[in-house]
Structure 1
Amino acid sequence: MDDPLIAPRWAEARQGPVMCAVLRRSGRVRHTREHRHVRGQLLGTETGLLTVQAARHRWIVPASHAVWVPPQTLHAAHSHGPFAGWSVYLAPEACAALPAEPCVLALTPLLRAAVGHAAHLAADGTTDPQRLERLAAVMLDEIAASTPLPWSVPMPSDRRLRRIAQALCDHPGDPRPLADWARWAGLSSRTASRRFVAETGYSFTHWRQRLRLLHAAGRLAEGVPVVAVAAESGYRNPSSFIAVFREVFGTTPGQYAATSPRRRR
């Protein structure tokens, strides 16, 4: 398990600052085993994908989104690639008006800016309680006003299927068919196909397409050109990628990138 993002005494503190924020970058993958704490947590990445397990949910989340974890909720996280991410820890009494269940939220420009500013103040050692309370109030308003999003990818719980899923998270464009993946993970193609549907609600083909589009959305939000994103996501023909993306998101990749909260900062 990596070092905690903040000292455990702060994650467990009912008193003290209403909000603690931290930004961390490292040159390696970050893996945090299941744990819980008194404070609620909003977490996300600056780049790439993050797998988060919280309560009965397991999601793959791009940098354009965040995960809300209510107080005392068992959760774990795993970055795909070197970790560059952030977390905000909120006092339990401040979480009363926030979602009672863990969920995925879209990051608004205001919420992202408030998180970054709060982390900067913490890194500088600035401890003006009133200033932190004003920033916390902005974050709480933005979280409370956000609608939980269904656009995430559920992760399977079966160890062998999760091995396949993790490998695809690291390399979404890998073109191998399910039969090859099943053989690699040590189970039959039929079993893999059946259990993928049972554990995620999607066939392997639809699950992988959903993963690829989610990866693509995050990369477009980072400013990566459409043609490059299409290739990364396993589409040899950019026009095919554009058509599928428009069918799912209701807009073209170029239009999505232009209106992304990260691009409008």
Structure 2
Amino acid sequence: MLISHFLHGPISAYPRDYVDGAHQELHVHREAQLLYAVSGVMRLVTAEGAWIIPPTRAVWIPPWVEHEIFMSGEVRMRSLFVAAEYSPANLQGCCVLAVTPLLRELIVRAVQGPEQARNPLIQQLMLEELAALENLPLHIPMPTDRRLQRICLALLEAPDHPNSLEDWAQQVGASTRTLARLFQQQVRMNFNAWRQQLRLMEALPRLIAGESVQHVAKVLGYGSARAFSSMFRRLLGDNPRDYLNALNQFSAINASR
């Protein structure tokens, strides 16, 4: 399904709110889209994989990429639609981005109405900020090899599954070396890194919903909260409590707008 938006120059801005469990069905845009989460958690799914978008973060979707979106919690979505010819050259694929305070303020201003979104100074600043955003490791790529797909789908169903790559090799009828090579070729990371990415994506909605670090660590198969926190810090740069405190501060600011 094609959904197109009237562009006020290079960029248009649209606010939408969703209830917990809402779903945007598969669709495409002629324009690129930046999905920004003021509150709630969004999960973007394409044929290439899945991306998790926690509050105060955004996901970039290039033009003509078919996608669907799943909402967790009450989602306040703020979207920027960017004309294809103005898309930053460094944003060629879907990715989760760390939104700067300046871009956050520009988005808040732009969604107030067409007269704000049409402001050429706001539009130029948004384009410059978009091109400089940090890419975050919140992506789960999906392989095409049927043996890897079997493993990945099983882990999507049960992220705490304890099987090692050697265990999976026996189940899917391939050598450990073959599976390791295919993981690197098809998802550009090794098996353990892919599983860590998956567990991180599963952890964020739970933590944001208020589950304790200890409970989330146990549910996802970690032997201790410390081991889980170490993984979390390595991938996102903060321990879970500091990360959530920062999210809550940003969300409180945004909720007052």
TM tier, smaller: 0.5 to 0.7
**Residues in 1 aligned to 2:211 and 2:160: alpha-carbon distance in whole angstroms:** 15
Shift of 1:47: 3.9
- What's the RMSD between the two structures over aligned residues? 4.2
Deviations 1:103-141 (CA, angstroms, capped at 9, x unpaired)? 33113456456657766x5xxxxxx42133357566445
Secondary structure at the counterpart of residue 212 of structure 1:
helix
Give percent identity, aligned residues only: 29
Secondary structure at the counterpart of residue 244 of structure 2:
helix
**1:40 is aligned to 2:32:** yes
Aligned residues: 244
Partner of 2:240: 253
Partner of 1:50: 43
User: Is the 8 Å Cα contact of residues 172 and 211 (structure 1) preserved in structure 2?
Assistant: yes
Q: Letter of the aligned partner of 2:142 in structure 1?
A: M
Partner of 2:14: 21
Partner of 1:131: 116
User: Is the 8 Å Cα contact of residues 40 and 72 (structure 2) preserved in structure 1?
Assistant: no
Secondary structure at the counterpart of residue 172 of structure 1:
coil
Deviations 1:129-177 (CA, angstroms, capped at 9, x unpaired)? 2133357566445423413345533322335634643553465334455
User: Is the 8 Å Cα contact of residues 42 and 68 (structure 1) preserved in structure 2?
Assistant: yes
Secondary structure at the counterpart of residue 168 of structure 1:
helix
**Residues in 1 aligned to 2:104 and 2:134: alpha-carbon distance in whole angstroms:** 16
Q: Letter of the aligned partner of 1:88 in structure 2?
A: S
Q: Letter of the aligned partner of 2:229 in structure 1?
A: I
Shift of 1:208: 0.5
Partner of 1:105: 97
1:209 to 186, 190, 196: 196
Shift of 1:41: 0.5
Q: Letter of the aligned partner of 1:69 in structure 2?
A: I
Q: Letter of the aligned partner of 1:165 in structure 2?
A: C
Structural mapping, 1:82-101, within 5 Å: 84=75, 86=77, 88-92=79-83, 95-97=86-88, 99-101=90-92
Q: Letter of the aligned partner of 1:143 in structure 2?
A: L
Secondary structure at the counterpart of residue 90 of structure 1:
strand
User: Which structure has greater strand proportion?
Assistant: 2
Q: Letter of the aligned partner of 1:107 in structure 2?
A: V
Partner of 1:66: 58
Shift of 1:263: 5.4
TM-score with structure 2 setting the length: 0.67
**Residues in 2 aligned to 1:133 and 1:95: alpha-carbon distance in whole angstroms:** 15
User: Is the 8 Å Cα contact of residues 53 and 59 (structure 2) preserved in structure 1?
Assistant: no
TM-score with structure 1 setting the length: 0.66
Secondary structure at the counterpart of residue 139 of structure 2:
coil
Partner of 2:143: 156
**Residues in 2 aligned to 1:230 and 1:83: alpha-carbon distance in whole angstroms:** 24
Secondary structure at the counterpart of residue 228 of structure 2:
helix
Shift of 1:258: 2.7
Shift of 1:62: 3.5
Question: Mind listing any 5+ residue stretches in structure 1 that lack a counterpart?
Answer: 122-127
Shift of 1:249: 4.3
